[in-house]
Amino acid sequence: MCPKSTSPCGGGTVETVTAVREAEPADDALVGQLLHDFNTEFGDPAPEPLWLARRARELIQGGETVVLVVGRPPAGLALLRFRPALWSPGTECYLAELYVRPSLRGQGLGEALLQAAVATARHRGADYIDLGTAETDTAARGLYEKLGFRNRENRDDGPIMYVYEKDL
């Protein structure tokens, strides 16, 4: 049985269970809210939660996106995007989002989500999983490194890898 605790969350309570599951349609509104909260916490623009909920469900139904949640109601999520690999017959997995409500951090929920994300990627035939994060997000970087992610090319002492973006 998974350890449980009850913590305040948005005026109510959430049962935090470290067991991770795929988001169900009943989770859509909270998935949208979590995605919105993630961007606004870091000062990034975000569509309204309802729009995000609908978009996430549309992507899930398309088969190339998986949303994992932890807690009932969901207190955190991992959003995975899959694409065919170029250099192998497998797939590639991009961890697009990993978020846990601030009041519930430090309880192992992010680690449980990340471990489940890696397991889900393997199960779906991915050869590797990649992600981007800010240099200043030392807590996230520590978690990624703890679970074997690296930001060095080809080896531990290789050159640092960077992620670049451009709005189109």
Mean per-residue pLDDT, 84-90: 93
For residues 106 and 143, the answer to whether their CB atoms sit within 8 Å is no
Identify the CATH number of the domain in which residue 66 sits: 3.40.630.30
Which residues 6+ apart lie within 8 Å of 157 measured at CB? none
64 domain residue, yes or no: yes
30 domain residue, yes or no: yes
pLDDT at 140 over 80: yes
159 domain residue, yes or no: no
pLDDT at 152: 83
88 domain residue, yes or no: yes
91 domain residue, yes or no: yes
Say which amino acid occupies 124.
R
Rounded to an integer, what distance in angstroms lies between the CA atom of residue 30 and that of residue 167?
A: 27
pLDDT at 9: 36
What is the value of pTM for the model shown? 0.86
CA neighbor of 119 nearest in space, from 156, 147, 145: 147
54 domain residue, yes or no: yes
Rounded to 5°, angle at Cα 137 from 12 and 121: 80
pLDDT at 15: 55
Structural domain for 103, as ranges: 4-132
Number of domains within the chain: 1
The residues pairing with 97 across neighbouring beta strands, listed in sequence order, are 79
pLDDT at 131: 95
52 domain residue, yes or no: yes
150 domain residue, yes or no: no
Tell me if residue 145 falls in helix, strand or coil. Answer: helix
For 125, the token pair is 């035939």
Q: Across the chain, what does the average pLDDT equal?
A: 88
Mean per-residue pLDDT, 108-117: 97
**Pairing between β-strand 65-72 and β-strand 12-22 as defined by DSSP bridges:** antiparallel
